[in-house]
Every structure is written in C-alpha cells, then in structure tokens.
Chains A and B, each alone.
Chain A
Amino acid sequence: MGWFKRRFRRSDDAVEREIAFHIAEQTQANIARGMTADEARRRALVEFGGREQVKQTVREVNASAFFESVAFNLKAAARFLRKSPSFSLAVILTLALGIGANSAVFSAIDAIVWRPLPFPGGDELLRLSQNDAQGREANHFVAPSRLEDWNRMTSTFKGISGYYLDDLSELSGPLPEKVTLALVAPRFLQVLEVSPALGRNFTLEEEHFGGPDAVLISHAFWQRRFHGDPSALGKKLRVGSFHYSIIGIMPASFHFPNRDVDLWAPSPPDAPYAQRRDATWFTVIGRMKPGVTLNEAAADLSTVQSQLGKQFAKPDSELSVTAEPLKETIVGSVRGSLWLLYGSVSLLLLIACSNIAALLLARTAEREHEIAVRFSLGASRRSVITQLLTEVLALALLGAVAGLAVAAAATRGFHLLANTLPRADEITLNGRVVVYSLACAVLTAFLCGLLPAWRGTGTTKGHGLAQSLAHSGRTQVSTRNPMQWILVSVQVTLAVTLLVGAGLLVRSMQAIGRVSPGFDPRHVLTLQVSGSWGETADMKGVVQRIDRTLDGLRTLPGVEAAATSAMLPGVPSKYQQEYKIDGKLDPDRKILADSRWVSAEYFDTVRIPLLVGEACRQASTTSDVVVNRSFANLYLGGTGAVGHTLEQAAHNDFAVTGIVRGIVGDAREQGVNELPVPTVYSCFSAPNPFPNYLIRTHGDPMQMVEPVRRRINELEPNRSVYAILPLEEHLEDAFADDRLRTLLLSLFALTAVSLACIGLYGTLSYLGRLRQREVGVRLALGALRSRIVARFLWQGLRATAVGCVVGLALGMGLSRLLAGMLYGVTALDPLTYVGVLGLVLLVASLASLAPAVRAARVEPVKVLREE
C-alpha cells in the first residue's frame, strides 16, 4: 500500500501548490489595486473560499483515478462483501462448487491425459504390437526372438523390451501367497529408465538362460512381507518351482505394467523354449531415441519387420506391426469420459455464472443511486465498471479458494477409483490446478460481472444526480427486464442440455440392466488358481491338474456344476479369429468368429442352452468344438453344422482344429452390451495355466467360498486361490466406469436444474418486490389476485419454455458426442427428451409458484400509503 499512499499524497501536494499559486496571484492583483499586503492576502483567501473543501472535492474527482488501482478497489470490494454477507456467501458457495468441480476434473485430465507417464521421458515410450496379415490385432503379443530382432535391427529406438504376467504362488511363507510376477525381457528397466530404490538391476548374466534366478520386488510387497526391512535384499523367494534371490526393491511410485505386480524376474530370450517365432508372449515396449517422431519409429519398425519377413517366410511375412504411444494404451479408454465430465462441469459453471449475473443485475439496479453519486463526482464509466468488476472478482477469488478445498476432496475421491481409473493415484492438487482455478475465477468474474456492471452504469450515466436522487426509493425498473429473463433462459438451456445427456446415459444403463445375456450369471462363483506359463511345457499335466481340481469341486456339497474358461462370460473381451471350414478358406468371405476356450461343463454351469448335438465331452480324445447359433446360421447353413471340421486360419500356439459337435444358444459373451457374434467354443479345460473357474452353487455363491478354498487347498497345497468373486460382480465391475460416468453426469445435471430453479425463483421474487407498487395499484383498481399470479407464473414459464426449446435442440446436437457411450437408446431417444421436458417444466412451475403467489399477496392500502 506504500506506493498507493505516496501517489495519493503527491497529487494532494500538487493541488495545494495550485491553490497557493492562485492565492498568490490574487494577492498580487489586489496589491496592484492598492491594498496593503495583509489586506490583499486576506481578501484573496476570503474570495477563494473553503480551501480544504476545494481540496477535498478535487481529491474526490481524482479518486476515481485510484479506482483503477486494484488495491483501492479491493478495499472497496471488501466493504461491499461485509455489507451483504448472505449475498456474498451464496455467491461464494455457488462458485466454490462450480470452480471446485471444474478444477477437480481439470486435475484428473491434467494427470491422466496430459502429463507424461511417470517415467523419465515418458512420451518417448511406445507399445509395439504385431498384427496378422489382415492388419487385425488378434492379440498384441510378440515372440521373444522377434523382440530381440526388433531391438537389434531398428535404428530409431534406444531400446526395446517387454513383459508378460504370471499369477503364481509364493511358498516361503506358512501359506501359499498369490503373487503377480512380471516376466520381463532384457533391458526392461533401462527402457523405462527407472532404477531400483534399493539394490540393483538385473545383470547380463541373470538375463541369460541358465543364469542365477534373480527377482526385483515391489515396494508394496516389500512392506507387506518384510515390513520395509532392508535386509530383505539377498533373501530367497520360492515362487512356483523357482528359488529367486531378491536383488532389488522398486520405488513406491513404480507400478508398471500395473498396480498388482509384486515381482519382476527376467525371461531369458535364449531359452530353448523361447525360440519359436509363432509363440506370442510379450507385450512390447520401446523407447524412441530423443527427437524421433512416432511416424519415423513406426516406419523404421515396419521396414525391419519386412526384412524379417524375407528371412522367415513363416510367420514373419504374414505379420505387420503397429506402434502407438504407451500412454495411449493406458489412458485411451477414459479420455472420452473425462472430456464428457469436463464439458458437463463447465456447463455447470456457466449456469452458476448466469445465476450470479442475474443476482448482480438486481443488485446493481438497487445501487443505482450510489453509482449516480460516483458519476456526479466525476468518475468515468470505466472506473465505475472496474469497481463493480473488482467486487465480483473478490467474490470469485474467494470462491476459487473454497473451490480448491472442494477439488482437494474430489482428488481423494479419485484415488478411491484406482481400479476404474488408470493413473488415478497420480492425480494431485498441484500448482497447475491452483493456477487453473484462479484463471477460472477471473474468467468467471468477467462472465458474471461485466454484463450487470455495463447495464448498471449505462442507464444511470445519462441521468444527473438530481434525477437519480429524485427516483431513489421508488426505482422504476422496466417491467419487461429482458436481460434477467434471458439469463434465466440461459440457465434453463444449459440445465436441459446436461439433463438430456444424463438421461440418455441413465436410459442406457437401464437398457443394459434389462438385457437378457443368454446365460445366467446368478449363483456362479468365479476364482483363479495360480499357475505359471512355464508349466505349459507339459500341457497334458496342466490339463490333468485342472480336470482333477474341477472333479474335486463338483463333488462338494452345494456345488451344482463347475467349469473353466479362458475368459469370463459377459466381461468385455474380444479374440476374433479367422477359420477354415473343412480345411478350405471361403473365397468369397472371411469366416470370422469369436474364439473361446471352455471346459466340458461350461454350458451347464452358465446355463447356455444346447440346441443341437452335444456339448463338450469330458476327457474326449478328439478335439471338439461347439458353435453358437449365429455361427451355425451364418456359415454352416443352420442345423447341418454338426460334423464339419473347423480350423483356425492363422498359426499360433492355440491353433485349433476340431469337429463341430453341437450348437448352443447365442450368448452375450463379449460383454452384456454387445450383441452375440458368431462364436466358436473349443473344448479345452486348460487354455492357460490359470483359467477362470466357474462354480454354480445352489445358494449364495459367497457362502461357498470357504469350502471351495479348503477343497482346492487339499488338492493343490502349493497353489493359491485368488480373485474369488461372484460372476455377477464381475459383470458389474465391467460397467463400473460407465456407471460412474452416468452417476456423475446425473449429479451435475440435477445440480444444474437446482441452480436454474434457484435462478428462476430469485428473479421472480426480485421482480415481485420491485413491482409491489404496481401490483398494489392494480389490486386497488380491482384486478383479480389470480390474474396477477398467472401473469407472474407466465413470465417465469415463458423464460423456462424458451430455455427448454433451445436446450433440447442443443442437447440433440451434443448428444452425438455420446454416441459411443449409449446402449439400447438412440441419441434422439424421444422418451428421454419428453421426460426431460416434463421434469424441467414441473420443477420450474414449482419454483415459480411461490414467488408469484407472494407477489400477488400485496396489501394495496399499505403499499399506496408507503408512497
């Protein structure tokens, strides 16, 4: 404030000097007229009049210059806030919610979508995949030898590595503990550019076949098993059939490839079992050299792959490659939802803005007199507008500060969503979010403040002080007040837009809930039993083990049926394969089908009806397949399907040739929201070492958890049981993010409608107050109260109707953005639109009724006497 006072004093001095000069000149003139010096000065002073008064008036004129200084304005603003605490509090709270929600979603977008992955140079990391000849990404896994070729032959990468996951049991403790082991290709940590927090990385020797078995452990595992004791280094872990030495502990922030990984161990590329080029193991990550673009890297990789194609006609010549940013593979799925949320919270903030703008319009009209006084003291319009804006800015800044508290709470909320939201744990309230909130506040202040300030100063400016004073006390605001009603309409418009979006999502969720999936997920318990890919060297042993477990489960009392399957029914998954029928490719069309592996009793367990022929036979010596009705109808001419042979067109580890034994009903295996597609079920109980067990129980599946655990422990004492959940919960989890999105959008939409109603209520109440005198006169002249109520109601409903029409049109336009997120309803679902219209008209009528009735309940005599 120092400079401010100095500046003030300097200008005061100048006025003093100016006045002194005037008096000196006058004195001199008086002397020239023949007065004595004393008399001349006395007369000059008298003639000048109240010196201090002149100075004060000049100071007030100049003070308007200081209105432009933020410090002065803020002081005035603080006075303004204190003068009307309830108004200020309402505005601050509205903005706190508006800005807070906006900042919270911004912090999520910032952390998830914008910030690079939490590795040094995270944007240089790519995921590299191999595709089949048709360019389809059957699965993105890559053979170990090909990974090594890529690493050696490409020139744009610093390094290429990869991983795959095993769910295993750690056996050095009293009970087998399920652990997730990431088996990593050489150079894993070098590519990620991460070092262990304690200990060291793998040596070259450890990355080769036959080298010492070394393992890195996660921070969480270290805490859990060793309570953070550094002496864990060098200790042994017994995982499956291996004895690993702990060589390092990873930093707490390191969760790659996912949060569940406990251990990292090398998967040597020179192992004899890793030499097949058609084996697909690794999810491959590569780090580009600095300055290399994605396109250059992808082109380089393609060139290398075509060279490999010349060298290895089969299978490399049939493969193409893709490279995509690693971040995209992690966050791509939630980007749409996040932007949707961001859009809705921004609409919400806009509604809050127009709400506050309407409040301010009313207030500024009430302050007409004060503004007129400022003008008459010589303040320019700009300085008065600046003053009014500063008041709003002060409110907005306070709102933003409170909003940061809201955002901080929301951030903690996000952390609880770690299972649904990738990178949720990286969401923090950092400087960028704070800056964003403050920017929001400034923008908000201009949005809500500029219009009222402009209008408030516009009407008064023409009037002199005299008129304003004459009018004060009976401010006659134009009864039409178009600006107030436009603001109400804007709020209704935005609220309706949000409601349409929320309504469509809610209807989608309902539609999904109503779908009959073609299987029965009730009373089915699912679980997994640890196993390792290494066991697949003895495939027969794995099958025997799994069949033995299944037999053991079936004989448990309370269990109706038990089966295994590679993928859970209804949990989104796609594994589309091309097939040959009776050894021939169809020249005219591709025979594409979802490919699933299930054990014999699968169809009984999940109750998919058998239509023709027989289901999988247990302990069958032949390779059997079962197809669904869609497949039979589309490719095999219906019921005649049984007896044909099917063979996968592509070559890979699980290429299946089988005889069609039966046809089953269509089921929504790929997700409850996906229509059934042609499907081929291969009868095979051991598609991987840790398939999903599905157990149909007589009663509540969770009641069977303990007996099932005990039975498996008897059969497999060295294996752990994990992921025990009813199938229904898996299905719910599959839509957890959709549900969350729907819930949040509905919440925002309802808040928006409430805000719009408060705006409508406030505006109508204010106008009722303003027009008390008019209403009194009308009543005195014999107007009916009901007519007056109707008039007020009509005003409110007209603005609402306009808002509804524009809002529905806007909703129709924007609903296209939801297209990919809808199920079972079109973006133009009439029921949603009619429902939204009905709801808004209903609540708007309720919000208008009270103020309309109150406005008409005027005592004519009282009002007229007051005048």
Chain B
Amino acid sequence: MAPLEKTDLLQGTLDLLILKVVALGPVHGYGISQRIRQISDSVLQVQQGSLYPALHRLEKRGWLAADWGESDNSRQAKFYRLSAKGRKHLAAEEETWNRLSRAVELILQTAE
C-alpha cells in the first residue's frame, strides 16, 4: 500500500472529487462546485477559494484540459475535461482512496 502519510489529505481529496466530477463530461467551475454539493447531499461544500486554485493546478499538471465555450445560459465559460493522463491518475487515486477508506472502516469497526 502506498504510504498515505505522504499525501496531504485535504488537498488530495479535493483533487479526487474534481477529477471524478470532470470525468463525467466537460464542465465549468461553477458546475463542478454544484455537482459536488448535489452528489454529496450538501455534506461537502467546496470553498471557491480552494476550487479555482485546485482547477488551475490540475490543469497545470496536465490532468485536466480546458477550453472556453458557451454555457447553458449562453455565457462564455471555461469548460474542463479529463485528459488521458488525468484519467490514469484518477484511477490510481480512486484505488488509493478505496484502500484507505476500507482500512479506516476496518479500524473503526474492530476498535469498538
């Protein structure tokens, strides 16, 4: 198992959620924040202060690609989509996340 202590948990989590949402199809920043809130039943509310830097960072790393296009409301918006590299990264991150959550669950159950 990959050493988890080396991953900044919060940052890694947000990255994972963004990548997952973007994997569904090209989407703009506002869309991503809405989608995360909807899917998590409003449990997770993404601060815009972290969302946009994260988007730009992921774009810079080459996991996301972005184009300007027209939104549903006919406004110019920056649409993000997953690159091939990002797809691979997402798969790896998901795997890591699943292992972590299984392990945490296991501990929580057995420690009772």
Tell me whether A54 and B60 are in contact in the complex, defined as CB-CB below 8 angstroms, given that A463-B6, A464-B6 are known contacts. no
Q: Which residues of A lie under 8 Å from residue B56 when comparing CB positions?
A: 15, 58, 61-62, 378
B76 at the interface (CB under 8 A from A): yes
Nearest B residue (CB) for A65? B60
Nearest A residue (CB) for B45? A47
- How many angstroms between the C-alpha atoms of A53 and B50 in the bound complex? 10
Interface size class of A (residues with CB under 8 A): 20 to 34
Tell me whether A380 and B71 are in contact in the complex, defined as CB-CB below 8 angstroms, given that A25-B30, A58-B53 are known contacts. no
Q: Assess the B77–A21 pair: CB atoms within 8 A.
A: yes
Question: Contact mask A15-54 → B, CB, 8 Å, 1/0?
Answer: 1011101101110110000000000000000011110011
Q: Assess the B60–A22 pair: CB atoms within 8 A.
A: no
Tell me whether A62 and B60 are in contact in the complex, defined as CB-CB below 8 angstroms, given that A21-B28, A25-B75 are known contacts. yes
- How many angstroms between the C-alpha atoms of A25 and B61 in the bound complex? 27
Nearest A residue (CB) for B31? A25
Interface of A is mostly: helix
Question: Contact mask B73-111 → A, CB, 8 Å, 1/0?
Answer: 101111000000000000000000000000000000000
| Distance to closest chain A CB from B40 (angstroms) | 17
| Distance to closest chain B CB from A752 (angstroms) | 43
Q: Assess the A64–B60 pair: CB atoms within 8 A.
A: yes
A57 at the interface (CB under 8 A from B): yes
How many residue pairs at the A-B interface have CB separations less than 8 Å? 76
- How many angstroms between the C-alpha atoms of A18 and B71 in the bound complex? 12
Of residues 40 through 88 on chain B, the ones whose CB sits less than 8 Å from some CB of chain A are 47-49, 52-53, 56-57, 60-61, 71, 73, 75-78
- How many angstroms between the C-alpha atoms of A60 and B56 in the bound complex? 10
B26 at the interface (CB under 8 A from A): no
Q: Assess the B53–A21 pair: CB atoms within 8 A.
A: no
Interface size on B, residues (CB 8 A): 23
Tell me whether A22 and B49 are in contact in the complex, defined as CB-CB below 8 angstroms, given that A28-B73, A61-B56, A380-B61 are known contacts. no
- How many angstroms between the C-alpha atoms of A593 and B48 in the bound complex? 98
Q: Select B49's contact among A54, A60, A65, beta carbons within 8 Å.
A: A54
Q: Assess the B75–A54 pair: CB atoms within 8 A.
A: no
Q: Which residues of B lie under 8 Å from residue A271 when comparing CB positions?
A: none
Q: Which residues of B lie under 8 Å from residue A462 when comparing CB positions?
A: 6
| Distance to closest chain B CB from A696 (angstroms) | 88
Q: Assess the B57–A61 pair: CB atoms within 8 A.
A: yes
- How many angstroms between the C-alpha atoms of A402 and B59 in the bound complex? 43
Nearest B residue (CB) for A11? B56
A78 at the interface (CB under 8 A from B): no
Q: Assess the A61–B8 pair: CB atoms within 8 A.
A: no
Q: Assess the A14–B52 pair: CB atoms within 8 A.
A: no
Q: Assess the A26–B52 pair: CB atoms within 8 A.
A: no
Of residues 448 through 471 on chain A, the ones whose CB sits less than 8 Å from some CB of chain B are 462-466
Q: Which residues of A lie under 8 Å from residue B61 when comparing CB positions?
A: 378, 380
- How many angstroms between the C-alpha atoms of A172 and B4 in the bound complex? 100
| Distance to closest chain B CB from A16 (angstroms) | 11
Q: Which residues of A lie under 8 Å from residue B6 when comparing CB positions?
A: 462-464
Q: Assess the A54–B52 pair: CB atoms within 8 A.
A: yes
Q: Assess the B73–A25 pair: CB atoms within 8 A.
A: yes
Q: Assess the A58–B77 pair: CB atoms within 8 A.
A: no
Q: Assess the A54–B48 pair: CB atoms within 8 A.
A: yes
Q: Which residues of B lie under 8 Å from residue A19 when comparing CB positions?
A: 48, 52
| Distance to closest chain A CB from B12 (angstroms) | 10
Q: Assess the B60–A380 pair: CB atoms within 8 A.
A: yes
| Distance to closest chain A CB from B80 (angstroms) | 10
- How many angstroms between the C-alpha atoms of A15 and B30 in the bound complex? 13
Q: Which residues of B lie under 8 Å from residue A22 when comparing CB positions?
A: 28-30, 33, 48
Q: Assess the A17–B52 pair: CB atoms within 8 A.
A: no
Residues of A within 8 A of B (CB): 14-15, 17-19, 21-22, 24-26, 28-29, 47-50, 53-54, 57-58, 60-62, 64-65, 376, 378, 380, 462-466
Can you give 24 contacting A-B residue pairs, CB < 8 Å? A18-B28, A18-B52, A18-B77, A19-B48, A21-B28, A21-B29, A21-B71, A21-B78, A22-B29, A22-B33, A24-B75, A25-B73, A49-B47, A49-B48, A54-B48, A54-B53, A57-B53, A61-B53, A64-B60, A378-B53, A378-B57, A462-B6, A464-B6, A464-B8
Instruction: Give the 7 A-B residue pairs with the shortest CB-CB distance, closest first.
Output: A378-B57, A57-B53, A25-B30, A464-B8, A22-B30, A61-B56, A48-B48
